[in-house]
Structure 1
Amino acid sequence: MSTVIEQAVQARLVASAPQMESVPATLRYDREDPFAIRMAFPPPATLEGNEVSWAFSRELLAAGIDAPAGVGDVRVRPFGYDRTVVEFHAPEGIAVVHIRTSELRRFLTRVQGLVPTGHEHLYLDLDHNLAELLRDAH
């Protein structure tokens, strides 16, 4: 059984122009990092021309589908009938994307099947992480 779930989504980039540009993005969940979701944008979709990946909590994404959530670098909120807004705040500026809520719910359902909510701690390898910290301390 795979420990990683990836799902391609179409994100609509909100810009100052009235038209929104559709950009590809990939949602990723790895059971070895059970509290995190990653969202990656390919080089053509970024200002720098490099892939950009954001990590944020699975709980933030789940909560933000139904009500505004987040106060930090990543914020999520519902928008209209079947859209969810994800805002990425960085020193360079703010990127705002709209994603179909149904795609996010499908992704979270798959994640839930891999690691049920509330059981994330069972997938942490604390012994390995502690050994890594101690190894680096020498």
Structure 2
Amino acid sequence: MSVVEQYARAHIVTDTDVQVLDERGAIPVVLRYDPEADPQVVRMRLPGPHEWSLSRSLLEQGLRAPASSGDVRVWPCGRVQAVVEFHSAQGVSVVQFDTKALMRFLRRTYLAAAPVEREAELRR
């Protein structure tokens, strides 16, 4: 059971205190999944102290149609992009990703989770 970590580039769509932009106006984002810690949760870490947790199923649903749960909303933006919106006491962060990067990450999480899910079923 291995942790899945993938680096991606994203665009901040709203005002925020994230100041680490590359030459294309993108920010580095770390997508992380640990099937042993919680097989239903993925994490997105933006530069600085910005880390968000959301359900893996919400991320997957949001790539096809608007979906939300609590303080997180995900929706497709055209054919090749997706938007993730995070609400907190500090405000709202809206981040735009290439859908391919998120889909590649999700595929890797399902491969990593397969042994954990099989082991859990055997214990039942």
Same topology, TM > 0.5: yes
TM-score (normalizing by structure 1): 0.73
**Aligned mates of 1:108, 1:71 — CA distance in 2:** 18
User: How many aligned positions are there?
Assistant: 110
5 Å matches for 1:44-83? 51-83=49-81
Matched, 1:15 2:19: no
When the two chains are superposed, the root-mean-square deviation of aligned CA atoms in Å is 2.0
Q: CA deviation at 1:120?
A: 8.3
- C-alpha deviations, 1:11-32, integer Å up to 9, x for none? 100136xxx9311110000011
Distance 1:120 1:12, change over 3 A: farther
Higher RCO (C-alpha 8 Å, min separation 6): 2
Equivalent residue number for residue 108 of structure 1: 106
Residue among 79, 94, 99 paired with 1:96: 94
Distance 1:13 1:120, change over 3 A: farther
- Structure 2, unpaired ranges of 5+: 16-23
Runs of 4+ in 1 over 4 A off after TM superposition: none
**Aligned mates of 1:120, 1:83 — CA distance in 2:** 33
- C-alpha deviations, 1:90-115, integer Å up to 9, x for none? 12211101000000000011111111
